[in-house]
């Protein structure tokens, strides 16, 4: 088929590449405009999908919006059979949705209607979900409200991070979308309306919520850390030499220790076991600003954190 692909981050690139490998004619790729990158933001880089499209020799368009008549006319002039959308990041007006002959199809990383919105992978882990998945849905003007055509469920294991789940779901999305487009081409891709029950929204992660709150139960702290790992990363402050230093947490485990008599945030031993509002958490992988990630034992070789210290 003639397909317009619309996506931006690394998550979407495997789907673009899989559709191309499956023999579809990708007539154009739409991606978010190049953005400042690097520590100082001095370098402007195209998105991962943009770079994949360049490598495949596919023309790329990077409009800031698709609301103008000119953009909608140009989109329609591509005469696509279908649009495939994976983590594009722009709202698609009705004129864009209606332009492809067979509609616009989205690969979404959750079991809808749970976790509609921008950050479904992070929110699933942060909330302690034990399963998630990918759904291929036909897009409408709502926020991930369209009818669903295909589903694949994925287990979220107890120590799984967002980074690990991201990579697994990206591969599932690519495989499932290739199958969905084959069925669509053959005229055998029926859809089913989403349920009105169990709707939740996966809001974009804000900077304010990345700080660890040790007054939470240990399991909630653990889920929070792995849901934000590796990026943007959960963090706490540690007093080092009389100044508060921010430390990123990349891995933890719930510790089987009775910490009921200790204030949340109290260091309990020489293994970085920390009292929480309910139970205790052990810090496994930490990272200071400008430094590489370190296992707890290596971190403690360069930073003294005595039992009884309160962090937070």
Binding-site residue set for (6S)-5,6,7,8-tetrahydrofolate: 110-113
Query: Which two structure tokens, joined as six digits, stand for 191?
Result: 């859809």
Which strand (E) or helix (H) includes residue 237? strand 234-240
**Residue ranges for the binding site?**
110-113
Distance between CA atoms of residues 182 and 68, nearest Å: 32
Torsion of CA 12, 18, 19, 23, to 10 degrees: 160
What number of CA atoms fall less than 13 Å from residue 30's CA on the CB side?
25
Q: Is the dihedral of CA 36, 37, 43, 44 positive or negative?
A: negative
DSSP state of 213: -
11 by DSSP, 3-state: which?
A: helix
- Alpha-helical (H) ranges within 118-262 are 120-126, 162-185, 218-227
Q: Residue 207, Cβ neighbours under 10 Å: how many? A: 7
What is d(CA 235, CA 283) in angstroms, rounded to the nearest whole number? 11
d(CA 88, CA 144): 13
DSSP class per residue in 83-134:
EEEES--S---HHHHHSSTT-EEEEESSSTTTTEES-HHHHHHHTT-SEEEE
Reading the block at residue 226, the tokens are 């792995």
| Strand pairing class (116-117; 201-202) | parallel
């Amino acid at each position: 088929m003639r397909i317009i692909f619309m996506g931006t981050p690394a998550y979407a690139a495997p789907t673009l590449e899989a559709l191309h490998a499956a023999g579809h004619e990708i007539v154009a790729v739409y991606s978010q405009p190049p953005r400042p990158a690097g520590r100082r933001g001095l370098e402007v880089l195209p998105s991962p999908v943009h770079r994949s499209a360049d490598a495949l020799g596919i023309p790329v368009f990077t409009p800031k919006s698709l609301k103008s008549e000119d953009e909608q006319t140009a989109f329609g002039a591509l005469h696509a059979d279908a649009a495939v959308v994976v983590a594009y990041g722009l709202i698609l007006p009705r004129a864009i949705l209606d332009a492809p002959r067979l509609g616009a199809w989205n690969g979404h990383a959750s079991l809808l209607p749970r976790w509609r919105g921008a950050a479904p992978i992070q929110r699933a882990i942060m909330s302690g979900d034990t399963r998630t998945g990918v759904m291929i849905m036909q897009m409408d003007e709502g926020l991930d409200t369209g009818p669903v055509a295909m589903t694949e469920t994925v287990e979220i294991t107890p120590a799984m991070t967002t980074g690990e789940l991201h990579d697994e779901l990206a591969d599932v999305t690519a495989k499932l979308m290739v199958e969905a487009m084959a069925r669509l081409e053959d005229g055998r891709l029926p859809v089913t309306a989403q349920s009105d029950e169990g709707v939740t929204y996966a809001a974009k992660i804000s900077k304010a919520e990345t700080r660890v709150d040790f007054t939470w139960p240990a399991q909630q702290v653990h889920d929070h850390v792995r849901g934000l790992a590796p990026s943007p990363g959960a963090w706490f402050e540690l007093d080092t030499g009389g100044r508060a230093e921010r430390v990123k947490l990349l891995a933890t485990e719930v510790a089987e220790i009775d910490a009921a008599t200790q204030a949340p945030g109290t260091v309990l031993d020489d293994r970085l076991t920390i009292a929480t509002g309910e139970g205790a958490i052990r810090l496994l992988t930490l990272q200071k600003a400008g430094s590489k990630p370190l296992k707890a034992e290596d971190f403690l070789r360069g930073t003294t954190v005595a039992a009884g210290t309160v962090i937070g």
